[in-house]
Amino acid sequence: MLARQPGGVSLDVRAGARRPTLPAQRPSARPPRHSRRRRWLAGVLVVGAVLLGVLGVSVGGALTAPGTDSTAARLAEWGRTHGLGSLVTSLEKAQYAANPPRVGGRPSVQPVAGAPAGLPAIRPAVSPGLPGEGVWRQVVAVHGSPAVWVTEVRPDATHTSYLTGVMRLDPSLLAFTLHPGTAVPGGSGWSQPPLIPASVRGSLAATFNSGFTLTDSRGGYLLDGRTVTPLRTGAASLVLTTDGHVSIGAWGREVGPGPNVVAVRQNLDLMIDNGKVAPDINSTSSAVWGATVGNHAYVWRSGVGVTASGAVVYAAGDALSTASLADVLQRAGAVRAMELDINRDWTSGEWYAQNGTATTPHKLTPDEYRPADRYFSTSSRDFVAATIRPAR
């Protein structure tokens, strides 16, 4: 007996009749949707885990690297070197905008009083000046002659509760050396270590920070005859020679290549040239004074210059704009000067008292964030050291 099934298939339902074999269904070419979704999610999780692992190793390496950098500074530098520079800069600008420096008032710490050191005092920005303000005092002598002088001045007539530290160094008694940092410029094989070794501390007179990171400096870097980044014509340049002499000027104009040049550290353009402050010192363009936090932000800043007699002057302090920093350096006698690094983590100057076998570091200003012996430990950024020349 035949029975018709839906779809037109006839089956024999009689007793003993052989049952026909139904055609086998072909397997689906695609897995079920829920299976595909699970595979996609598993792939995303694997990739995410790998990225998190790599990220953790990278950030962990930055946080545990040698040196005295703060956690915030380490994270900021990690972000800048991993494509997050704009985010870091935005966060810094927001922080500065929310916490502007005080206006008016008097410094909590007064300028250190001392006998005049035979140098004309720096003219205060506010009249009358504070007791001891701008009066140079000798802190380091070499072979019986003054080699390092320091003083403090208020940065301008508005931020009168802050003091900018100023240091003057005699290059005829001191030899200058550029020490590389582990991150700036990085690399290996340099003639100098990223710190002041114990064997040198007995002849150490002063140290101060260098410039921006190489990606932000708008300039080049040469050390030990090796060009790390190409030197830019016209860039503000700190130039050191084999005999420890230091010059500052625009590359290709006041300073340039030569057989005795061992180091060139460029950073932005000259703030002071031929005794005059740059006419665009108040420019808001990031192409002029850097895109970090802008030239109008009143933050920790530092700079270095040379006087007409060849003395080196360094200044650092809080609540400084590019214009007020240039003004301080000009009042200190600089005829050519350049900005160095900014922000509290990177700006500091130190001088060193020698007493027999003991070397005691001193901060240029008491409110500097870094410890006075910061360069006795590995530094992530380059810095300049001034050591005592041997007696002739």
Which pLDDT score, from 0 to 100, does residue 14 have? 47
Per DSSP, the three-state class of 324 is: helix
Tally of CB atoms within 10 A around 241: 16
Place of tokens 């940092």: 181
Share of the chain above pLDDT 90, in %: 65
Identify the residue whose tokens are 């990220």: 55
Buried b (16+ CB within 10 A) or exposed e, 218-227: bbbbbbeeee
pLDDT in tens, 217-269: 999 999 998 999 999 999 999 999 999 999 999 999 999 999 999 999 999 99
Write down the pLDDT at residue 6. 47
- Which of residues 5 and 83 earns the better pLDDT score? 83
Tens of pLDDT along 312-352?
Answer: 999 999 999 999 999 999 999 999 999 999 999 999 999 99
pLDDT at 11: 46
Query: What does pTM read for this prediction?
Result: 0.82
Helix (H) or strand (E) holding 151, with range, is strand 145-153
pLDDT at 9 over 60: no
The larger pLDDT score, comparing residue 52 to residue 391, is at 391
pLDDT of residue 280: 92
> Which whole number is the average pLDDT over 68-95?
69
With tokens 């690297």, the residue in question is: 65
Give the β-pairing of 221-223 and 261-266.
antiparallel
Flag whether pLDDT at 390 surpasses 70: yes
Strands 164-169 and 145-153: antiparallel
Q: How far is Cα 217 from Cα 325, in angstroms, rounded to an integer?
A: 17
